[in-house]
Amino acid sequence: MKPTTDTGGEVPVRHHDVDRQHEGELIESGPRGSAAIAGLLARFQPSAPRPVDGAGEAGDRADGTPAWGLEQLARAIVSKAAALLDVKEIDTETDLFDAGATSVDAVRLVAVLDRELNVRLSLDDVFADARPRRLAQRWLGSPTRRPPSEASTATQALELPAAPTTSAPTTSAPTTSAPAASAPAATTTASPGTDRTPAGPVAPDDTLPALDDHAEDLSLIMADLAAADRLPWCGDPEPVPPRRVLLTGATGFLGGHMLLDLLRHSDAHVVCLVRGDDVQDAERRLAKALAGFSLPWSAEIRRRVTLLPGDLRRPRLGLADEQWELLANDVDSVVSVAAAVDFLRGYPSLRRTNVLGVLSLAELAMTGRPKPLHHISSIAVFNEIGIASMGEDDPVAHVDRLTAGYDKSKWAAEAALRRARDRGLKATFLRPGGIVGHTRTGAYNPHDINTGLFSAISRYRVAPKIDYSNSAPVDWVSRIATAVVNEPSAWGQNYHLTGRPDTLTEMVRDQELGGLNVRVMPWDVWLKDFLERCETDPVPELEFMARVLRNPAGQKIVEASVSAPMATGERTEAFVARHKLPPPARYDAQARLKSYERMARDGLVILPSRDDPPHLWFRETMRGKVGPVDAEPGTRCTLALTLSIASMYQLVQHRTIDVRGTVSCPSLHADPLTVDDGEIWVRPHEGVPHRHSLDHPLLRYRLALRDSDGNGWWLEGWKTARARFDYMKQARTLTVRVGREGEPASLAGTLKVPKKSYKREQIDGIRVNPKLSMREQRIAKLAWLSWFSTQLGQGLLEPTLRAGAEMLDLRPDAIDLDKDRYQAKLKKWEKDRKQLR
């Protein structure tokens, strides 16, 4: 209820310091999109509760806050969330993200609850557990009061046939004991007003202990693992390559690439489980997702793909009983790629997709004819800070030492499937690390931790101290994973798809070779520095990373990643060698070039520029004479320039060289003029000759000059080539025109590089970033000389080759033209001879 004035009018309630209604209106009316989401998320920070408006239905407490009951508040949150998401079938135990909420919706919900219910939650509260009952408990400060048993939730979401209880196989079990699971209750979709709390009074709010999220997570994990013991028994699948594959996650980054690789490298037909209202809607979603990753979607691909509308979050994938039975008997292999990858959401919010959905796929694989299940897991199952080793068969982390909901969900999925293995399931664990961009198309995942780190490093030129980067490009991960799916002898094992891990030294050298001078900081110092930069100068493209690192669980994920040991994969390496697949290679500067270009276009990465310290530089001196245009030059002019490049990327992509230095010419000014800004284009216009000319351009100089009086000047010059053999002279000669800023040229002339200084300055005088080793400096120098010599040589030879082609022109029209000329000469000779007679 809203307070009223004495005259009966409503009084808007505002915080003393913040106009929350205005913020809520901005959020609700604001634009959508990645930048908009980042801006919206940045608006909300956790803060202390505030006074609220008048009495609620349960009355007010002495401090002015409403005396909400747990169920009353939970139902109120359900009502607001249902209106916000425009859905009806949610109750107090429905995770709002499972109901379709997005990050923007989470922001809007926080605003709505604060404005309309005076319930002030933080975004971290919503991400940790988006069930309305848990949100109500957080606000009221009540203890966790699960319905008849949260353990039953696992079996409610996954309706499995009853089976005799068996002892669980040995796993990395939690050290904290969990409460016993009670018998499952029937699954129903409750109305917003349904009460699922156990009978009994709720203690007064001010005497309740704080919530223990970690203990509840462990209880839920134990309940989910118990669900695996109710899976059916099955035998071994037929050891033949699959002919009909069920694939989940085809709209995701890795799943989309695996779909195309399954079609390229096998004869299998692929059934894609895609969320959608019908087949047409599912196809639109899939086609749009593939296009976003630069992957094709054509009639030929569509012929070998069947779209199956479904939902991994729902019991039996959201399929009717007939569809379920038909699918179980139709496919002969199941590939589980789909996952909710969110580093801020808690285990209760992720389990329905990442754990219970995987168990539904396991049940499908064990129903009807036995089928192998290939599960895309993650090395996040090792994300325990201080873990000693990460081998394919090494023990995974202790679950009670994992802090992030995502890590716990991947751990629980593997633990449940290990139990399913004991019941006959042939389950393969494929564990990627960081999945980085495609080496050829440059497609990348903007919500990957590695993408965020690369973006932060390129923008701020500061890197955290990293032991190893266990990451591999998506094209390699997809190729190896699909090869395992197609090879029966490889089924049922663990594989690490982490490529060849990078060391910090290698990564820094890659950056320096590319022209980025990066400083290294300890993790805690880098974290503080990064968050301070984001606070003082927010960058929308980095908001995702900033949001992760502001969250304690997100910090632990990234810290565990940067301090993790090298992930080893002897079994994967042997498999790759045996089947002659692409070997694991470093994701070095050359491999990530396409992704960096694409990330730069999207604003995530800042490539080296002329504002950075130069990667390579040398001097160039030219002397000659200039004079008035169309007159004989008579005034001496000297150019003392320093030519530099920020990175080899600048050369290869743009073919430009940066210029600094001075121009000395008494006709311009008594003092030398300074080069404010200058560039040289190498073989501009691909060396096409000037119009109505035989001159082929080699280099074009464009300099902005400033004299000591502050006046602006410009200089433009060309080095050109003709069909002559004085190549060295042509490469050293520059034709220039000079004029005042905004005016036409007033001076023109020719300058040359002295023979004696050419080799001394432009070959022996090349200098490279001193931070590189001597070997790397030599490589950089040779790379420059090789590239520039190739460009210059091509430019010098083009006019000669063109002249030769014209001389040997054997086209019919050219031959006819020669005949006509010959006949004309004969006629003229006959005419002259007659005149002489």
637 & 763 share domain: yes
Co-location of 513 and 571 in the same domain: yes
pLDDT confidence tier of residue 243, bands split at 50, 70 and 90: very high
> Is residue 836 assigned to a domain?
no
Q: Which two tokens stand for residue 766?
A: 């090349």
pLDDT grade, residue 807 (50/70/90)? low
| % of residues, the chain, pLDDT over 90 | 43
CA torsion, ordered 573, 578, 581, 582, to nearest 10 deg: 40
Q: Is residue 231 part of a domain?
A: no
pLDDT at 49 over 70: no
**171 occurs within a structural domain:** no
Residues 6+ apart with CB under 8 A from 616: 644, 645, 766, 767, 768, 769, 780, 781, 784
Res 68 pLDDT > 60: yes
Average pLDDT estimate for 158-175: 36
Q: How far is CA 377 from the centre of its chain?
A: 19
* Domain of 516, in residue numbers: 244-601
C-alpha 150, offset from chain centre: 36
409-424 pLDDT per residue, tens:
999 999 999 999 999 9
Whether residues 332 and 420 share a domain: the answer is yes
Residue 823 within a domain: no
- DSSP states along 365-406: HTSSS---EEEE--GGGG--TT---B-TTS----GGG--SHH
Contact criterion met (CB below 8 Å) for 131 and 97: no
Overall average pLDDT of the 152-173 stretch: 36
Give the pLDDT band of residue 723 (cuts 50, 70, 90).
Answer: confident
Instruction: Indicate whether 417 and 272 sit together in one domain.
Output: yes
Q: Please tell me what DSSP assigns to residue 71.
A: H
Quote the pLDDT of residue 641: 96
Average pLDDT over residues 110-135: 85
Same-domain check for residues 356 and 473: yes
Which amino acid does the sequence have at 598?
R
Q: Please, which pLDDT band fits residue 792 given cuts at 50, 70 and 90?
A: confident
Q: Within a 10 A sphere around the Cβ of 646, how many other Cβ atoms?
A: 23
- Looking at the structure, do residues 684 and 574 belong to the same domain, yes or no? no
Can you tell me the distance from the alpha carbon of 383 to that of 669, in angstroms, rounded to the nearest whole number? 67
Query: What is the number of domains present in the chain?
Result: 3
pLDDT at 67: 65
Closest to 311 measured CA to CA, from 511, 109, 157, 466: 157
Q: Do 453 and 542 fall within a single domain? A: yes
- Is residue 833 in some structural domain? no
Per-residue pLDDT at 718 exceeds 60: yes
The pLDDT, as a whole number, for residue 201 is 34
User: What does R_g of the chain's alpha carbons equal in angstroms?
Assistant: 35
Nearest to 704 by CA among 665, 645, 662: 662
Q: Which residues contact 220 (CB under 8 A, 6 or more apart)?
A: 150, 151, 153, 154, 347, 348, 351
φ, ψ of residue 713 to 5 degrees: the values are -135, 165
Same domain (yes/no): 402, 518: yes
Last residue of a domain, which of 557, 578, 601?
A: 601
**Residue 319 tokens, joined:** 């399929």
Question: Based on the domain organization, do 249 and 328 belong to the same domain?
Answer: yes
Q: Which residue(s) pair with 657 in the sheet? A: 680
Q: Tally the residues of the chain.
A: 837
690 pLDDT tier (thresholds 50, 70, 90): low
Distance (Å, whole) CA 493 – CA 704: 65
Burial class (CB in 10 A: 0-12, 13-18, 19+), 720: buried
Which of 129, 145, 161 is the last residue before a domain boundary? 145
The residue with greater pLDDT, 399 or 810, is: 399
Phi, psi for residue 253 in degrees, rounded to 5: -65, -55
pLDDT given for residue 41 in this prediction:
42
CA-CA-CA-CA dihedral for 402, 404, 407, 409, to nearest 10 = 110
- Residues 630, 545, single domain; the answer is no
> Would residue 222 count as lying in a domain?
no
Domain presence at residue 452 = yes
Q: Which residue type sits at 455? A: S
Identify the bridge partners of residue 520 per DSSP, sorted by sequence position. 463
Residue 128's CATH number = 1.10.1200.10
The residue behind tokens 């530099």 is 644
Token match 């073989």: residue? 683
The answer to the question of residue 818 being in a domain is no
Q: What is the CATH number of the domain that holds 394?
A: 3.40.50.720
Three-state SS string over 156-197 comes to HHCCCCCCCCCCCCCCCCCCCCCCCCCCCCCCCCCCCCCCCC
Summarised one tens digit per residue, pLDDT across range 16-25 is 333 333 333 3
Q: What is the pLDDT of residue 114?
A: 86
Question: 640 and 592 share a domain?
Answer: no
User: Residue 794 corresponds to which tokens in the numbers above?
Assistant: 């091509």
Q: Domain boundary residue among 601, 634, 658?
A: 601
Calpha distance 16→25 (Å, rounded): 18
Q: Are 432 and 378 in contact (CB under 8 A)?
A: yes
* 574 and 626 fall within a common domain: no
Q: What is the mean pLDDT of the chain?
A: 80
Is it the case that residue 115 has pLDDT exceeding 50?
yes
Instruction: Please give the pLDDT value at position 646.
Output: 84
Average pLDDT over residues 310-320: 93
